[in-house]
Each structure stands twice: as structure tokens, then as C-alpha cells.
Amino acid sequence: MPEYEAVIGLETHIQLNTTTKIFCACKADSWDDGPNTNICPVCTGMPGVLPVLNKAAVEKAVLLAAAMHADIQNLSFFDRKNYFYPDLPKGYQISQYDRSIARGGFMYLPLPEGARQVRIHKLHLEEDAGKTKNEFTSASGRRRLIDFNRCGVPLIEMVTGPDIHTADEAAAYLIRLRQLLRWLGVSEADMEKGHLRADANVSIRLKGSTVLNTKTEIKNVNSIEAVRSAIEKEIERQIREVEAGHSIKPWTLSWDDETQTLSKMRSKETEADYRYFREPDLLPVRLDDAWRAQILATLPELPLERRARFVQDYGLPAYDAEILTGERALSDYFEAAVKAYGGDPKTVSNWMMNDVLRMLNDRGLTATALNMTPAHLAEAIRLVDDKVINTSTGKALVPKVQDSGKSPKAIVEAEGLAKVSDEDAIRAIALQVLDASPAEVASYKAGKTTLMGWFVGQVMRQSRGKADPQTTRTLLEQLLQ
Ligand code: ZN
Ligand code: MN
């Protein structure tokens, strides 16, 4: 059987996290609001109204374009994309066509075989359309409801070049993109809430060939896992068709997450004619040098650069650096904690990966929700280093500091958690334990030495975790001889 390779293009729509919509003063994010609550004459296309461009949307677009290494344009235009659909009250979408805010660009995609540049074919600003919902009630039968809240929400449409070849790479691209969007602070990038939407174009060809064959488009995928599964299924289907001697039809397919299947939405025979023309109600976007410089001054160090620096400057393993740069706030936290601690950065990394991240994951939080300051973490580690408390007490401090906001030292004092390394105190507890467990003592003496762990555990429990485990073990061994 010949070997095939897939060519995948991802078309993403990214909801910018501006306070207001792109051309009016309505609230942009309606996730928690009822239908048709954040609308006005502008975003519902009433006659005689004029759109006014939201400066913040342009700034976020420029920031993203810079992070995608795109060529930011000093002059760009808005255009009308005309089509008829019930959720588009104006009868056109304000978008950018041939003179968009940025050209070209690429994103580095780290892959097992090395980083690959995924080229960006298109990056432009546009407004979102509304949402339609089908409803069936016994009283009114089938009806279609329209929610205009999303009309005029600022979007970036971004389309990749044909540089992605597997479902895993498509998923990896979206994971990186989501990380970057949150890192830049331009979008919440929550796929479940539609902040990041992805359609996938899929075609196959013989491995090594350079032709681009007929592609299909997959819509309705609202999680990265769904993108991966849908693309995998579609590649398999296309290979089966070609092997059976059939040709691939340019279908638009819809993914059903529940049944994990693709179904044909419509055949896409010809490209729709959107009759694009310049939006006459908006001025061209002029990005002068001063404004451009002001925006670019806010461009942070990007995740992959920071990851490389963590390996270089702190001597962290690549794995640690990858985890710690997963979120910008987390990587800032790490650097602040290293500074406060002053010791080996790898120690701080271990605490963060094992204890801080576990606590955040358990509670479904991200690093922005940390009450425990970097200085607190450094203090907890120091208390263990200085043998004031043992390691398990130190680890237990992490959620306590998070909940109380108190410093580790204050908690250790208030709860009397300081380690008992006083041998007489530990010996007294050990003797009590041995007295109370004659059967275990007998088995131990008869050769079941694995019971040592149990004895240590009993002493630790009686001392409420404060006994130094090493001292405890040594004392128990002496007493049992
Ligand atoms: Zn409005
Ligand atoms: Mn679009």
C-alpha cells in the first residue's frame, strides 16, 4: 500500500478580550448574559448608524501580529464581506480583505524532530456574527432563535499555510497558539466558550509529492481533542476513498463530538462570491511610528524564548522549563521565587512542579490565582533547608499559606509545627509505640524487618508529623536491638 501524507490548514477565529465590541460601546463578552442583552443600533445594523473603530482591538491585533513575526502594515483598510444569513443583520460582515493589518508571519511549532515554522497566510481583523439556535417546543413547533450578542465582537481571523501534516501537529499548533494568546493577554482563548474556534482543511497526497489535492473542510470542532480526532478520522476516510479508486469531493464536513463522527454539511462546489468592497463608513487604519512603538513596547518575552532562557540561565531540565513556561504568570512567579530564595533554582522548580502546581490543579486554578507569594514559597523552602520543619510539613504548608494568606513562619509558630529533633522527646514516643505493639515487636524480632516503616509511621503520627524521620528510625533501631 502506498504511503500517504496529509496536508492540513487551520483557519482560526480568535476572540479578542477587549472590554467593548469592535465598532460600538456594547460589552464584548456575553458568556454569562442572556440572549440579546448586549446589543445596540450599531451592532444590529440599524439604518443611519456609523461604526467607530475600537482602538484596543487594533492594539491587540498588532501585538499578536508581532508575536507571529508578521509584517505589520502602517496603512490598512476595512471591507464589507456581503452574504445573507439570519445572524448577520447588516447583510455584510465588516472584515479586512486585501489590505489587512498584517501580512505573512509564522509560528514556531516545537516538534519531536525539531522546531518547524508554520507559515501564516492570512491575519486580519473582523467582527463576529450572531448565533442561531434551533428549538423545538410542542406549542410552537420548530423555530429558529437568533442571539445578536456576538455581533460586532472583535475577532482575528488567522489562516495557516500547508505546513501541518498530522492530527497531532494540528493539536500541537492549537495548544501553542492558545498558550501564546493567553501569554500576550489578547484573548482568553477558551475553545469551549468559542474564544478560539478552528476549522480544518484536510487533503492527502502520496508521500513526497508536492501537489495539493482536493481538500475538505471540517467545521464545528470546539476542543483541541475534537480537532485531533476529527482530522484523524478524515485522513483515514480520504485514504480509504482513494484506495477504492474514488475521488475526493470538496465537501464541508461537520464533526459530532458525541458520536465522534463526521457528516457532510454541504458540498462546496464553488467559492461564494462575497462581493468585497471597501467599508465606506470607516477611515483607513493608520498606524504611525509612535503608536506602533508604543504597542510593541508592551510585547513580552515569548514563551519559547523564555523556555530557552530558563534552561540557559537557571540550568533547568527542558521538561521543567516547558512546564514552568506553560503560563506567563507561572513563569513570572518562578523567577520571583528563585530571586527570593537565592539558592538552587532546581529546588524552586521541584517545589513548584510537585506542590504548587498540584495544589492549583486540584483546585482547578491557574497561577494568576496564587495567594501564596513567591516570597512565601522561598520562606517555606528555607524552613525545610534549615531543618526547622521536615519536608512533609513544608509541603503541607503550601495549601495552608494559599488559604490563609499567612506567611509560612507564622503558620509554623501558630500551629507548633516546628520539627521535634530532640532525641529524648522522640525516644519517649517511640517507647510508647513499642509498648503498645507487642505483636509487631515480636514479628520484627523474628525477622520481619519491613515492619520498621510501620514503626516510623506510628511515631510520626503520634508526633503529628513533627518528628524528624531519620532520627526516629535510628532511635527505633537502637531500641529494638
Ligand atoms: Zn452594539
Ligand atoms: Mn472570518
| pLDDT reported for residue 138 | 85
Ligand number with the minimum distance to the CA of 128: 2
95 close to 83: Cβ distance less than 8 angstroms:
no
What is the average per-residue pLDDT within 386-400? 91
Is there a single domain that holds both residue 177 and residue 221?
Answer: yes
Strand bridging mode 114-127 / 106-111: antiparallel
Is there a single domain that holds both residue 170 and residue 311?
Answer: no
- Confidence class for position 410, pLDDT limits 50, 70, 90: very high
Percent of the chain with pLDDT over 70: 98
| pLDDT reported for residue 270 | 61
Distance 393 CA to ligand 1 centre (A): 55
Distance 135 CA to ligand 1 centre (A): 26
Q: What is the spatial distance between Cα 193 and Cα 15, in angstroms, rounded to a whole number?
A: 10
What is the average per-residue pLDDT within 78-102? 96
Q: What is the mean pLDDT of the chain?
A: 93
Largest CA distance in the chain: 96
Q: What is the spatial distance between Cα 29 and Cα 142, in angstroms, rounded to a whole number?
A: 29
pLDDT over threshold 80, residue 271: no
Neighbours of 218 (CB within 10 A): 25
pLDDT (tens digit, 9 = 90+) per residue, 63-83? 999 999 999 999 999 999 999
| pLDDT reported for residue 90 | 95
Q: Which of 415, 431, 464 is the last residue of a domain?
A: 415
- Confidence class for position 112, pLDDT limits 50, 70, 90: confident
pTM: 0.85
Is there a single domain that holds both residue 341 and residue 457?
Answer: no
Distance 43 CA to ligand 2 centre (A): 17
pLDDT over threshold 90, residue 463: no
The total number of structural domains in the chain stands at 3
pLDDT (tens digit, 9 = 90+) per residue, 309-365? 999 999 999 999 999 999 999 999 999 999 999 999 999 999 999 999 999 999 999
Is there a single domain that holds both residue 109 and residue 215?
Answer: yes
Ligand number with the minimum distance to the CA of 90: 1
Boundaries of domain holding 326: 303-415
Distance 43 CA to ligand 1 centre (A): 4
pLDDT (tens digit, 9 = 90+) per residue, 11-39? 999 999 999 999 999 999 999 999 999 99
pLDDT (tens digit, 9 = 90+) per residue, 194-204? 999 999 999 99
Q: What is the spatial distance between Cα 460 and Cα 75, in angstroms, rounded to a whole number?
A: 70
Short-list 418, 338, 337, CA closest to 383: 418
What is the average per-residue pLDDT within 435-448? 92
pLDDT over threshold 90, residue 212: no
| pLDDT reported for residue 211 | 87
What is the average per-residue pLDDT within 282-297? 97
Distance 217 CA to ligand 2 centre (A): 14
Ligand number with the minimum distance to the CA of 22: 1
Ligand number with the minimum distance to the CA of 157: 2
Q: What is the spatial distance between Cα 398 and Cα 379, in angstroms, rounded to a whole number?
A: 11
What is the average per-residue pLDDT within 385-411? 92
Ligand number with the minimum distance to the CA of 39: 1
Short-list 26, 59, 60, 18, CA closest to 45: 26
429 close to 467: Cβ distance less than 8 angstroms:
yes
Phi, psi of 419 (to 5 degrees): -65, 140
Q: Which of 294, 317, 348 is the last residue of a domain?
A: 294
Is there a single domain that holds both residue 287 and residue 315?
Answer: no
Distance 396 CA to ligand 1 centre (A): 50
